[in-house]
Amino acid sequence: MQFYKERLLSPGQLKRLNEHKYSCTSVSLMDPFLQPWWNWLVSKVPLWLAPNLITIIGLVINILTTLILVWHSPDARIEAPRWACLLCALGLFIYQSLDAIDGKQARRTGTQSPLGELFDHGCDSISTVFVALSACIAVQLGYYPTWMFFQCFCAMTLFYCAHWQTYVSGTLRFGKVDVTEAQFTIMGIHVISGIFGPSVWMMELPYINTEVKVFPLWAAVGIAVLLAQSSVSVILAGGVGKNGSTVAGTSVLSPIIPFSFVVVPAFIIYRKSAEHVYENHPALYILAFGMVAAKVTNRLVVAHMTKNEMQYLDTALIGPAMLFLNQYFNFFIKEYYVLWLCLIWVTLDLLRYSSQVCLEICDHLKIMLFRIPVGGHRIGTSQTSIITEKNVHMVVEQEPLLDEEYHHGSDTSFDL
């Protein structure tokens, strides 16, 4: 049954999506050491648990633990309870672990499909916003609003750039120090804040009169520069399309336009606000614009997988437009209330877009989003795989041969 009146994906896009083959290279330093843990964990997962359901459970846990931190420190200046920081570290660890085994579960149950890749990256785009925000709250970065703005939007931009270079080259590339390493670093920050309290980052070191938080901040800047340089070098080297274009045959620089419609207004509204809406409500502000960035990133992933041109304008931009117009024309509405309207609009728009795209793909491939088909139909072939313990053990034994398929701890043999 179709629950939508107007399709977001054309028949041509759906056909190209069905033909899409995932390509990834990773030289992560931590992934090989984590493989035994992931292999053990997936062996304990019930066979009836759908891979996409594993992903969404991890995301919900990550979001809830971050929102607890936001509740206690909405301005990122109030010292959050130590238990909230430890809970946030646990939530991120659970998300990272579940995100790593969804593809393994797909192989165990013979339920791989392009939808799994899209669903995985979509959840990651949302998680990036919450992970970056939680790290800023854990070190009370609200006292330095410009730094907080830079750190959060830098994380969103780097995630977007990773998929931008994939749109250009056709291959998702992860370096030695990448997402897995960043996630465990942030877990470490939360653990330190949980043990010693967030105020530990405000301490000044003797002799150099520098706060402790300066060191992780500059380390993050250095890593960001290296990751950005890596993505830019791939983008400027030319794409796999005709005459060095993207997989969709468009300019390799074209994806910069949709994302600039997110970052530039966010910065202008922050700097021009007479009510200092960002400084007073940084968590709310980051979440609002973060959801817009997640929507644009999702559209880039869809454009790559369907080999389609990415549209520049998006309905999610109506949210930031409300803030911009209210500020520009000096309306009487308080910016705080408009910011809440912006967050609600972009969140609902993101959910609408994501759910409709998933439903259209499920409808086209004749698969289910959160259920494993009886008999474990293997998408894209005429073969069906009956899920038995013998098959499961065979898959687990073959896991070491598939290490090159992983990215940031997530198995990329994607699921339903």
Neighbours of 188 (CB within 10 A): 12
Residues 347, 291: Cα–Cα separation, whole Å: 6
* pLDDT for res 4: 53
Task: Give me the DSSP letters along 271-305.
Answer: HH-TT-HHHHSHHHHHHHHHHHHHHHHHHHHHHHH
This prediction has a pTM of 0.88
Active-site residue, selected from the candidate residues 20, 72, 121, 304: 121
Q: How many residues does the chain have?
A: 416
What is the residue whose two structure tokens read 């780097």?
158
Amino acid at residue number 11 = P
* Nearest alpha-carbon partner for 149 in 277, 292, 270: 270
Tokens of 30: 């931590």
**Cβ atoms 54, 200 nearer than 8 A:** no
List the chain domain ranges: 20-398
Beta strands in 122-189 (DSSP E): 172-174
* Sign for the pseudo-dihedral over CA of 236, 237, 238, 240: negative
pLDDT score at 135: 95
What is the DSSP annotation of 320-374? HHHHHHHHHTT-SS-HHHHHHHHHHHHHHHHHHHHHHHHHHHHHHHT--SSSPPT
**121 part of the active site:** yes
Q: With CA atoms as reference, report the closest residue to 300 among 406, 133, 128, 164.
A: 164
CA angle 391, 393, 394 (to 5 degrees): 65
- Dihedral class, residue 171 (left if φ above 0, else alpha if ψ from -120 to 50, else beta): beta
Which residues does 178 contact at the CB level (< 8 Å), separation at least 6? 26, 28, 227, 408
Instruction: Please tell me the distance from the alpha carbon of residue 90 to that of residue 109, in angstroms, as a whole number.
Output: 28
Q: What is the pLDDT along the chain (416 residues), one digit of tens a residue?
A: 454 557 888 888 888 888 888 888 878 889 899 999 999 999 999 988 889 999 999 999 999 999 999 999 999 999 999 999 999 999 999 999 999 998 889 888 888 888 888 889 999 999 999 999 999 999 999 999 999 999 999 999 999 999 999 999 988 888 888 888 999 999 999 999 999 999 898 888 777 777 888 888 888 888 888 888 888 888 988 888 888 899 999 999 999 999 999 999 999 999 999 889 999 999 999 999 999 999 999 999 999 999 999 888 899 999 999 999 988 888 778 999 999 999 999 999 999 999 999 999 888 888 777 777 655 444 433 333 344 444 444 444 444 434 334 444 444 434 44
